[in-house]
Amino acid sequence: MTFEAVDICKAFDGFEVLRNVSISMPLDGLVGLIGPNGAGKSTLFSVISGFMPPSSGHVTFDGMSMDGMSASARARQGMVRTFQVPKEFSHLTVRENLMAAAPGQAGESLSGLFLRPGLIRQQEKALKARADEVIAFLRLDRVADSSAGLLSGGQKKLLELGRALMVEPRLILLDEPFAGVNPVLIAEIMERIRELNGRGIGFFIIEHDLEALTRLVSHLYVMDQGAILAEGEPAAVLAEKAVRDAYLGG
Ligand code: ADP
Ligand code: MG
């Protein structure tokens, strides 16, 4: 069971942001992606999660082509991303944000609404139960009924992870989960990621905090100027001269 992105290219107005980027990882792997600002990391996430089409290239998930699929169709297949800047609904509570993130929620289909009136209440109950599970897992109990806009930066990152968990994912793409998060909460988020990975959920993680990331992942990709520069075991990759030149400034 593998996730693969093959020869992904992406250009904005003729400016090539991704140039033949290929990634391959086990669906239950724990893999990191680093690279200087502007390398194209977030754009790669947008393309492979279906938020924008590639100029060319292919994505396969557990042997199935995802080319042309919408982001929500990809999420229903089990691949979901978080955003570098959290996209919570600030006026909704934490629990409401989680419930809104689930795919195929009650009320989405009008025919369901008219044909099976009891279903809505039943679905909403199941959805709330799922949200409460995620809240307990992420230790967000104390803020479950607070407006998401009032959360700290770190709590918003946790909520992003929680929104991803609502779709019962197989592979989660995390875009800078530790950015702006205090060290105590970083340790906690890392622990949750390890726990989820132990249950078979894969992670592909963009992160600037190299120290935290290399403690977490078993495989590392490095991007620079839209292309993969190196990949492999984290310590070995970070020791490569080309990586140090491009990323660490020599
Ligand atoms: P990273 O996440 O590695 O910092 P990004 O993927 O955000 O890099 O950006 C890569 C490059 O693509 C940057 O030069 C950025 O300005 C450009 N870029 C990103 N998104 C867009 C867009 N929607 N339109 C035009 N250019 C973009
Ligand atoms: Mg980025």
Q: How far is CA 215 from the centre of its chain?
A: 18
Q: Where are the domains of the chain?
A: 2-88+154-247, 93-150
Helix (H, G, I), strand (E, B) or coil at 210: helix
Report the complex ipTM. 0.98
Q: How many residues does the chain have?
A: 250
> Could you give the angle at which helices 94-101 and 153-165 cross, rounded to 10 degrees?
30
Place of tokens 């530790």: 178
Q: Residue 211 CB: number of other CB atoms within 10 A?
A: 10
One-letter amino acid at 222 equals V
**What are the phi and psi torsion angles at 230 (to 5°)?**
-160, 160
The domain 2-88+154-247 having CATH identifier 3.40.50.300: the answer here is yes
pLDDT tens for the chain, 250 residues long, are 999 999 999 999 999 999 999 999 999 999 999 999 999 999 999 999 999 999 999 999 999 999 999 999 999 999 999 988 888 889 999 999 999 988 764 445 555 555 566 767 788 889 999 999 999 999 999 999 999 999 999 999 999 999 999 998 999 999 999 998 999 999 999 999 999 999 999 999 999 888 889 999 999 999 999 999 999 999 999 999 989 888 766 4
What is the Å distance from ligand 2's center to 175 Cα?
Answer: 7
Question: Ligand 1: which residues within 6 Å by Cβ?
Answer: 12, 17, 35, 37-43
Place of tokens 């502007």: 38
pTM summary value: 0.91
Which amino acid residue places its CA nearest to atom 13 of ligand 1?
A: 38
Which DSSP helix (H) or strand (E) runs through 227? Answer: strand 227-232
Ligand nearest to C-alpha 39:
1
